């Protein structure tokens, strides 16, 4: 049985095709989000089907999740991104007990019970200073590619202090630091530390390990280190961190297939 998961996130749409008979990922795809979410989701889905040599008739169920899940009108059903991320992470790492997911517009902490079931969760969807949007703003202000931020942060000797809890005021702080001649690497490291510090209010000082990091921001290698330093625990980056929501949706698709 083949199922599809579509994670219509705030910054990107992700799709995963999963074969439940062989427990294998058949195809994946990702595209920037836009105003025509339905059309973009369909195009990405059809492209993934083509890559896998499949047609829509071969798919038993399509499960949509994420910020824009209700716009994916061709989906069989929709599911909470909390449930889907938990399922996607535990597919790779069954020992996970805490999941940190930082996306473009929100961040989540998911606490798991035995068996990978969601025990509790907390979400920050009101403050961009604790999300990937903060890093996007920083990359734009510095005039560099987002993917290069991690490399820069690793060169820092003394992370800059970012005090503002609002992204607007934090940007003003960054402008001031640049004007003072602060090293760019220290500013980037300071922003990553500030994002990690915001997560403390969601996670709490004591976390149950193993802790796995997922979401697009997990692609920045130094971000896991920043989280680990603030939370005083080891943070593991899950495989395919951008796709765990879509993968979890595809895995859960077996429950709603005809």
Same domain, 114 and 12: no
Short-list 191, 133, 188, CA closest to 163:
191
Same domain, 75 and 28: yes
Report the pLDDT value the prediction gives residue 18, as an integer from 0 to 100: 98
Where the chain has pLDDT below 50, the residues are none
Same domain, 125 and 194: yes
Total count of domains within the chain? 2
Report the pLDDT value the prediction gives residue 173, as an integer from 0 to 100: 86
Strands (E), 81-172: 98-102, 107-112, 118-124
| Length of the chain as a residue count | 258
- Give tens-digit pLDDT for 73-108: 999 999 999 999 999 999 999 999 999 998 777 788
For the beta carbon of residue 154, count every other beta carbon within 10 angstroms: 14
Same domain, 169 and 250: no
C-alpha–C-alpha distance, residues 103 and 119, integer Å? 21
Same domain, 105 and 33: no
* Strand 211-214 relative to strand 118-124, pairing: unpaired
C-alpha–C-alpha distance, residues 1 and 15, integer Å? 17
* Host domain of residue 29: 2-89+242-255
Same domain, 70 and 164: no
13 token code pair: 């749409």
Beta-carbon-side half-sphere exposure of residue 67 (alpha carbons within 13 Å): 18
Report the pLDDT value the prediction gives residue 62, as an integer from 0 to 100: 97
Same domain, 209 and 150: yes
| CATH number of the domain that residue 28 is part of | 3.30.420.40
Report the pLDDT value the prediction gives residue 127, as an integer from 0 to 100: 60
Same domain, 100 and 208: yes
Report the pLDDT value the prediction gives residue 205, as an integer from 0 to 100: 59
DSSP for 8-77, written as a single string: E-SSEEEEEEEETTTTEEEEEEEEE--S-HHHHHHHHHHHHHHHHT--GGGEEEEEEESTTGGG-TTSSE
Report the pLDDT value the prediction gives residue 58, as an integer from 0 to 100: 97
Same domain, 231 and 246: no
Same domain, 42 and 105: no
- Give tens-digit pLDDT for 48-81: 999 999 999 999 999 999 988 999 999 999 999 9
Same domain, 53 and 173: no
C-alpha–C-alpha distance, residues 150 and 189, integer Å? 8
Same domain, 23 and 110: no
Report the pLDDT value the prediction gives residue 47, as an integer from 0 to 100: 97
C-alpha–C-alpha distance, residues 34 and 202, integer Å? 29
Report the pLDDT value the prediction gives residue 69, as an integer from 0 to 100: 92
């Amino acid at each position: 049985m083949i199922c599809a998961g579509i994670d219509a996130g705030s910054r990107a749409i992700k799709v995963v095709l999963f074969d439940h008979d062989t427990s294998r990922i058949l195809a994946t795809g990702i595209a920037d989000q836009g105003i025509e979410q339905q059309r973009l989701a369909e195009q990405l889905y059809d492209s993934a089907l083509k890559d896998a040599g499949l047609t829509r008739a071969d798919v038993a169920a399509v499960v949509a999740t994420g910020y824009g899940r209700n716009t994916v009108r061709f989906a069989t059903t929709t599911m909470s991104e909390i449930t889907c991320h938990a399922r996607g992470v535990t597919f790779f790492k069954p020992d996970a007990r805490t999941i940190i997911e930082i996306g473009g517009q929100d961040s989540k902490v998911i606490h798991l019970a035995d068996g990978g079931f969601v025990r509790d969760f907390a979400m920050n969807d009101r403050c961009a200073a604790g999300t990937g949007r903060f890093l996007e703003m920083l990359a734009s202000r510095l005039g560099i590619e987002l993917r290069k931020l991690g490399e820069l942060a690793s060169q820092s000797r003394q992370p800059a202090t970012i005090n503002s809890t609002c992204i607007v005021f934090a940007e003003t702080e960054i402008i001031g630091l640049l004007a003072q001649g602060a090293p760019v690497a220290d500013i980037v490291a300071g922003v990553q530390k500030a994002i990690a510090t915001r997560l403390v209010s969601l996670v709490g000082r004591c976390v149950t390990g193993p802790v796995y990091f997922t979401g697009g921001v997990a692609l920045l290698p130094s971000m896991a280190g920043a989280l680990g330093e603030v939370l005083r625990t080891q943070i593991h980056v899950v495989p395919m961190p951008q796709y765990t929501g879509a993968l979890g949706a595809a895995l859960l698709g077996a429950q709603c297939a005809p």
